[in-house]
Structure 1
């Protein structure tokens, strides 16, 4: 079975990955290894967090799992580099991982939205406004129009990881927009995997969350994508481009 390795910054919502592994239930392995830096949602700190040296360290830690593909499981630590910089980041990660297919959560959002045929979305960001705007710019470069963006102005990933489920649901649902075809939730520090189905039912539209799209992207890279219940519309949709 496929093994997809994830490089995760610090600690917050990494338990979403073993949950996804259990929901897949087919022997696919989703090991997580951690790299460490300041978990502040600020541009300088995020650029340091996603640096080639840190990601090379993560790739080295994942090597013992013999992964089929590797993914940088961090949205802000990838889109903060801009589209071209994030592409370079992924290329360098692939090289550090011995040429394995590689990606990041930011590209996962664009590819997942494209797979669902989405062009107009709302964004429910946990970040401060200046960081959240960089995600909007990244999506625009990927051909995804953001009709509404809300920033919760939470300073650190640790704070996001401590949000109780009911607060996560309300934070996300309250930031929908009637013109949006879907709602995007860009923070791998937020526990969302167990809540995606609930939020989609409340909104009546697809919801893409950071850890959800990161797992989906890793499976796509590994050639192991398949339909599975419990992980939202994205995992129930056949993507011919996978």
Structure 2
């Protein structure tokens, strides 16, 4: 989401969670056999908040007839699973200040101590973000109290930075798409053993 997000952009994010958008998605997937449905938008979760995201997950599950997950709720569940109390949200530079505030508020309402750091040393264009740059920047800006680091934003190209960041910082490192995959695997009851993408996905059994 570009810097200087407008109320219209927030309205668009909210609209992506409403019934008309879900109906369009259901039409696109009609006739296909699904195991789960995921709503992949961190900023939508921030805008609608925890309670509305829970309702979104319920509506997705009812609409598609399969388990459903959403980005922010997946991260919160992963943090709880690992006993995290203090999390540092690392936001990409294209998140504006309002998203910073909404992100911190979202996780605080879940009971976490949350601080936000904007990765201003990275490119403002998602396509130009390189994993090594993410690793180097985040390593030098990790809060000493943070038990976990969240590379927030489903458009933040940071999955390939997770493993090295965990090695360098000694912290649990979560990334929006990694946490969403973990949640999908969990709700479908599948065991897994995925290497190279951090401690979260190295777990070998489902949490369901």
Who is 2:91 aligned against? 125
| 1:159/1:45 CA distance change after superposition, 3 Å | farther
Who is 2:168 aligned against? 202
1:40 offset after TM fit, Å?
Answer: 4.5
1:142 to 110, 128, 144: 110
| 1:101/1:179 CA distance change after superposition, 3 Å | same
Cα distance between partner residues in 1 of 2:100 and 2:164:
24
Normalising by structure 1, we get a TM-score of 0.74
Matching of residue 81 in structure 1 with residue 43 in structure 2: no
Matching of residue 71 in structure 1 with residue 46 in structure 2: no
Q: Which structure has the higher relative contact order (CA within 8 Å, separation 6+)?
A: 1
SS at match of 1:80: helix
Aligned residues: 199
Q: Do the aligned partners of 1:56 and 1:93 also contact (CA within 8 Å) in 2?
A: no
Who is 2:19 aligned against? 52
For residues 130-209 of structure 1, the aligned pairs below 5 Å read 130-146=98-114, 148-152=115-119, 159-209=125-175
Instruction: Please report the RMSD computed on the Cα atoms of aligned residues, expressed in angstroms.
Output: 2.3
Matching of residue 215 in structure 1 with residue 178 in structure 2: no
Cα distance between partner residues in 2 of 1:104 and 1:170:
29
1:212 offset after TM fit, Å?
Answer: 0.3
Unmatched 5+ stretches in structure 2: none
Q: Do the aligned partners of 1:50 and 1:78 also contact (CA within 8 Å) in 2?
A: no
Cα distance between partner residues in 2 of 1:117 and 1:161:
33
